[in-house]
Amino acid sequence: MKGDAKSVTMCFRNGFLSFPKALSRFKVFGKQFKGGLPIDGLITNLFETAYVHRAIAASRFRWFVSDFVIKRVLWFLTGTQAGMNQHVGALPHDRLGRAFVFLNKSSKAMPYLNRPYQEKHPLAFLGNGYVDPPEDAQSKRWVDTCSFPESIDSTGRVSFEKRPDRKDWRRLKDTEVRPNCVVYCTGYKQSFSWLDPSYPTASDATIRNIIAPSEPSVAFIGFVRPGVGAIPPIAEQQAMWWTALITNRMAIPTDPPHYHLLAKQTSRIQYGVDHSAYMSTLAKDFGGAPGLLELWKAHGLKVLLVYCFGASFVTFYRLMGPFRSKEAPMIAKTELAETITRRGILGNLFFGVIPMIFYGLINMTALTLEMLGLIPKEKPVV
């Protein structure tokens, strides 16, 4: 917002889900939180990623429960369920959640997008709310948003797609917008022009989104997109998976995956994955997912607790198995343990203990129903 533009209008078709890279800058009962918790480190392993019954995994039950909780936490903190301090650009209700979308972590523009629409927090009297950075809070400028352009006439005026359901369209529908500069951010397509047409491409890599059944000697590393989290650690996990495959340390898995984000068949991106579920699935395939008892015996109680309370970090899958590393236990005890201690007592209670107990009971119930014959047992892989 330091440029000389008189106005800026951002157009999008269906909305977005905004979250900062780290949770901070919100107030609860008048006290500002300053912990800066990375949001991709808040999902714990035990019973939500590791030791999940296949029926619970297939139903995506954990995702929908966490969505329900997160939306209400967002409203409590910022007065809106659309995203963290997001008062415009909300996704449709049937697509707003962990199971459907990729988080937009470029949240620095939100104070400017919110300005024409932000309302007073219903719980402001309790001292709850979001604190914009001082340099943004002191500014009086804003960024307009609207639906996607349909056309630009001979005078340079933009006609926007009619969307009466959107408050930003209702606000701008009679406004003349004549841009001097148009920036297209329409995404990209995966292209492999250098690869002979006889080879499969990433869209054909239906086995763990890494290899195609017709050509397992060609791997596509880094060609998935997590809803939250980063691609480089996923690429490392994929590289270990493929290395185990081509060195005959594992067989090609045949069980159905339960890590894909739920996308319509018409959606451009069909390779979205839940970061934690995907990492855990690959680790189970190549034998890197540790058992709790063997982990405790090999590395002690602290590493065991860090694994249970931590997120799906690659280092956890180097504690045991074919890619075991002598440095992994120390990294777990220090760097990864620090991501847990930063949550504090209340953070670990709400993001760790309570979810573990809840999901543990859910998984135990599914296991009991399977033992009673009310859920079909998993067929052995031949």
DSSP calls for 213-234: TTBTT---TT--EESSS-HHHH
Confidence tier at 149 by pLDDT (50, 70, 90): very high
CB-hemisphere CA count at 13 Å for 186? 6
Average pLDDT (90-109) is 87
Residue 135 backbone phi and psi in degrees, to 5: -65, -30
The yes-or-no verdict on residue 358 having pLDDT over 70 is yes
Return the pLDDT at 213.
94
What's the whole-number average pLDDT of the chain?
A: 90
Average pLDDT (337-342) is 89
Confidence tier at 89 by pLDDT (50, 70, 90): very high
Q: What pairing do the DSSP bridges indicate for beta strands 22-23 and 37-38?
A: antiparallel
CA distance 379 to 370: 12
Encoded tokens for 133: 């950075």
CB-hemisphere CA count at 13 Å for 202? 15
The yes-or-no verdict on residue 380 having pLDDT over 60 is no
The yes-or-no verdict on residue 277 having pLDDT over 70 is yes
The yes-or-no verdict on residue 1 having pLDDT over 70 is no
The yes-or-no verdict on residue 306 having pLDDT over 50 is yes
Return the pLDDT at 35.
65
Encoded tokens for 279: 């990492």
Taking the CA atoms of 345, 350, 354 and 359 in sequence, report the sign of the dihedral they define: negative
Confidence tier at 323 by pLDDT (50, 70, 90): very high
Return the pLDDT at 73.
87
Confidence tier at 379 by pLDDT (50, 70, 90): low
Average pLDDT (192-205) is 92
